[in-house]
Structure 1
Amino acid sequence: MTAAPADLLIDRPTVSDGAALWRLAKDSKTLDLNSSYSYLLWCRDFAGTSAVARGADGEPVGFVTGYVRPDRPRTLLVWQVAVDLAQRGRGVAAALLDGLTARLVAERGIAEVETTISPGNTASERLFTSYAARHGANVSRAVLFPAGLFPDGPHDPEVLYHIGPLTPRTAH
């Protein structure tokens, strides 16, 4: 498991973090930016399946949002991961992902992680393949949403990364 840098705290998000998560997503320049309202709702309704990294001032400097799939209650779908530019290269994203999944293996018995990644997003590809390697889990890839399914103009396909199985031993 990747430890968070000593000056950061991995925590659950609160509604008051919603604006900061929206700004982090916006500033990432790679994530699909959702409405600010959606980040507020996310911090209210999915705080238990998400995590934030807080700086010394308590403000979020990174986050991972996710939810447990209703039809697969042992599968965590990671929706977005973002880290403030000044914090990149310090292992924050890996620590967030490791901390969140360790918590959810213990609390909810999750056994798999899924995420989608657009081709060419090498930072996310590295994050999730290294996560699988650290935890001795298999990773498979398949196109989940072809580009033609997106109604709002040109969009790259979304490739599903399926990682598992996770166990209490491999998630820590």
Structure 2
Amino acid sequence: MDTQVMAVPTVEDGAAVWRIARDSRVLDVNSSYSYLLWFRDFARTSAVALGAGGVAVGFITGFRRPEQPDTLVVWQIAVDQGQRGRGVASAMLDHLTARLTTDGVLRYLETTIGADNTASHKLFRSFAERHAAPLEREALFPAELFPDVHGTEFLYRIGPLCR
């Protein structure tokens, strides 16, 4: 892995993260403003991988569920194309969950994944195996709920995670 540092994101990382999301061609790209706002308000539950020169080469946006504050919801995760296949996504996920588990605020991890996103399915299954944590998978949002063309989103719930 060429990545040098896993870190808590800052608003200054927002532009690079927006470009990574846009260039992923997999994520629903939010406005550039939303990434700035996210890193202002949800930096503690998010992470960036910083490459040479301190530029973001990967990111995770996450938040704690208001009804279940011991649950981290991973909203988006992406890695710059030049860094893919080097373990960056796994390292970011391990870094973020270790940080929140150490702080005593994390027991469960949730995310939703589209049926055709093979890389994300593999990433989260691998995370559960690496951490010896139970994984539950169920259809959360069926395709017919979306007003546009969108496949079913599957909920992955992993945990409890060990402290």
SS in structure 2 of the partner of residue 57 of structure 1: helix
- Kindly tell me: are residues 17 and 141 of structure 1, through their superposed partners in 2, closer, same or farther at Cα, counting changes over 3 Å? same
Gapped regions of structure 1 (runs ≥ 5): none
The equivalent residue for 1:13 is 9
Question: Which residue of 1 is the match for residue 65 of structure 2?
Answer: 69
2:69 partner SS: strand
Query: What are the Cα deviations for residues 88-122 of structure 1, in whole angstroms up to 9, with x where unaligned?
Result: 11100000000000000111431000000000111
Q: Deviations over 1:42-94 (max 9, x none)?
A: 11000000000001200000001100101001000001110011101110000
State the superposition RMSD in angstroms: 1.0
Residue by residue, what CA displacement relative to the aligned partner does 1:111-160 show, whole Å, maximum 9, x if unpaired?
00000000011100000000000000011111111112112x11111100
Per the normalisation by structure 1, the TM-score is 0.92
Match of 2:26 in 1: 30
Counterpart in 2 of 1:91? 87
In the alignment, the residues of structure 2 paired with residue 62 and residue 88 of structure 1 have an alpha-carbon distance, to the nearest angstrom, of 9
Q: Any idea what SS the aligned residue of 2:53 has?
A: coil
Determine if the alignment matches structure 1 residue 160 to structure 2 residue 155: yes
The alpha-carbon deviation at position 7 of structure 1 amounts to 4.3
Find the aligned partners of 2:21 and 2:93 in 1 and give their Cα distance: 16
Alignment match, 1:116: 112
Give every structure 1 segment of 4 or more consecutive aligned residues whose post-TM-superposition deviation is greater than 4 Å: none
Q: 1:81 aligned to 61, 77, 101, which one?
A: 77
Count of matched residue positions in the alignment of Structure 1 and Structure 2: 163
Q: After alignment, is 6-15 or 31-40 more displaced?
A: 6-15
Q: Indicate the percent of aligned positions where both proteins have the same amino acid.
A: 60
